[in-house]
Amino acid sequence: MRKFLKYTGYTLLTIILLLLVYVASAWALSRLTVAAEPNTAHQVAIYIKTNPVHTDLILPVKTATKDWSQSLLYKNTKTGDSAFNYIAIGWGDKGFYLHTQHLSDLTASTAFKAAFWLSSSAVHATYYTKVKESKTCVRLNLSTEQYQRLIKFIENSLQTTTTGNPIMIEAQPYGDHDAFYEARGRYSLFHTCNTWANNALKACGQKACWWTPFANGIQYQYQQ
């Protein structure tokens, strides 16, 4: 019994120490800045929208470079309404997205699978008529070439059919104007929805964290 308690204590201590290292590393590395590329061609405006746990990228629905409504179809939303100017795109754990609309819905099973590469991923796309800038919704001005890189990054995150179309997930949406799509990659403690968004910023030459699993890392970079 004494030996069991001893090993249990060591195990718990190890877990606590690993969590402390994880949190400390996340804090420190999210404060290290990957500088933005020099850019004077402000041709496409996008937005970074954060909340305490998640980050979305908000893009214009239509530009000369890309029409998102041709791939992430309006008809895939509950209403099929097409009167929108912006689309918010986020990546994350499929189980978390589909079964945890609110944090109160989170189960231990969903959290464990998400943390340890045991679940697949999804892209969540939401249409908006307008975007309001705020501390948690920051505007960025990209060149056309930078926006093309961002488009490629997002497209590479989507699973597609043999004809190149994103695969819609038949699931209950959060509202009237959103839908879920099958995605590539695995969610984990080290590659979260916020890591994905941070990597997207790097891909298109914008200021980013060296690494972050948390939304507050991105918030820190854009609230300095």
User: For position 15, what pLDDT does the model report?
Assistant: 75
Residue pair 121/186 in contact (Cβ under 8 Å)? The answer is yes
Helix-, strand-, coil-residue percentages of the chain, each rounded to 5: 40, 25, 40
In the predicted model, what is the mean pLDDT of residues 185-203? 96
Residue pair 58/127 in contact (Cβ under 8 Å)? The answer is no
User: For position 97, what pLDDT does the model report?
Assistant: 86
Is the pLDDT assigned to residue 7 strictly greater than 70?
no
Counting every residue, how long is the chain? 224
Angle at 52 between CA 99 and CA 202, to 5 degrees: 95
21-to-109, 195, 217 alpha-carbon distances in Å: 23, 18, 16
Question: For residue range 106-135, what is the model confidence (pLDDT) as tens digits?
Answer: 566 655 565 565 678 999 999 999 999 999
Is the pLDDT assigned to residue 218 strictly greater than 90?
yes
User: For position 95, what pLDDT does the model report?
Assistant: 86
- Higher-confidence position of 215 and 22: 215
User: For position 71, what pLDDT does the model report?
Assistant: 96
Question: For residue range 80-110, what is the model confidence (pLDDT) as tens digits?
Answer: 999 999 999 999 999 888 877 666 555 666 5
Q: Phi, psi at residue 9, to the nearest 5°?
A: -60, -45
List beta partners, residue 140: 46
Question: For residue range 133-181, what is the model confidence (pLDDT) as tens digits?
Answer: 999 999 999 999 999 999 999 999 999 999 999 999 998 889 999 999 9
In the predicted model, what is the mean pLDDT of residues 30-48? 93
Q: How remote is the C-alpha of 141 from its chain's centroid?
A: 19
